[in-house]
Amino acid sequence: MRAVERSGGDAIGLNFFPNSVRYVDPQSPATGRLSRLANELGLLRVGVFVNESAERMAAIAATVGLDAIQLHGDEPIESAESLRSMGWPVLRAIKLPRGGFAAALMQERSAAWVAAGCHLLLDVDAGSAHGGSGKTLDWPSVAAWAQGHRSVGWTLAGGLKPENVRRAIEATGAVSVDTASGVECPRGVKDESRIRAFIAAATG
């Protein structure tokens, strides 16, 4: 976490999906300590959830101490509306095919979430794993959609790593990027040098 802050990163994700290799237990004192340290370092704390009720997400967010809630499953739009009405910033993962996709597909999958006030996180459809696939999106398709939707807030995810993040930014015009597996070695364990290299490449 200190590597994120020292290198100029601005957010961390706390993953509350029990099937993820990145899962952290919301009841564990260690998770609360992690959250407090992130807050002291000025990092935004994003809770990643899959198919939890709005009430449970809000309760975990308040207990652990989160700044935003990321919906990464098949949640209904009402979950976002409910969280927004409670004042929570919400990121919505829009899961897209690996190959090229039409801007119309992206529009169809995202319009209601944008209308509900969500920030979009564009990620590869990872099936039952939901996220953390390490696979990249078709960047030209992302760029084509983004050019027509300049007022929409979005973050690029999916297979981003130190070796490709600069190319991804240049290809898509992303102003914010997210990574999970791309800064790990071995899988599930964050690697300080890869975090530093990722942020340097993204911001440089």
Residue 183: DSSP 8-state: G
Listed in sequence order, the residues at least 6 apart from 38 whose beta carbon sits closer than 8 Å to its beta carbon are 1, 12, 44, 45
The answer to whether 126 touches 97, Cβ cutoff 8 Å, is no
Is the CB of 76 or the CB of 150 nearer to ligand LARABZUK?
Answer: 76
What are the residues binding ligand LARABZUK (CB under 6 A)? 13, 15, 17, 20-22, 48, 50, 72, 123, 130-134, 157-160, 178-182
> Which of 176, 192, 173 shows the shortest CA–CA distance to 184?
192
CB of 138 to ligand LARABZUK, least distance (A): 14
Tokens of 198: 């990722």
CB of 153 to ligand LARABZUK, least distance (A): 15
CB of 176 to ligand LARABZUK, least distance (A): 12
Is the CB of 85 or the CB of 106 nearer to ligand LARABZUK?
Answer: 106
> Which of 60, 171, 180 shows the shortest CA–CA distance to 129?
180
CB of 8 to ligand LARABZUK, least distance (A): 18
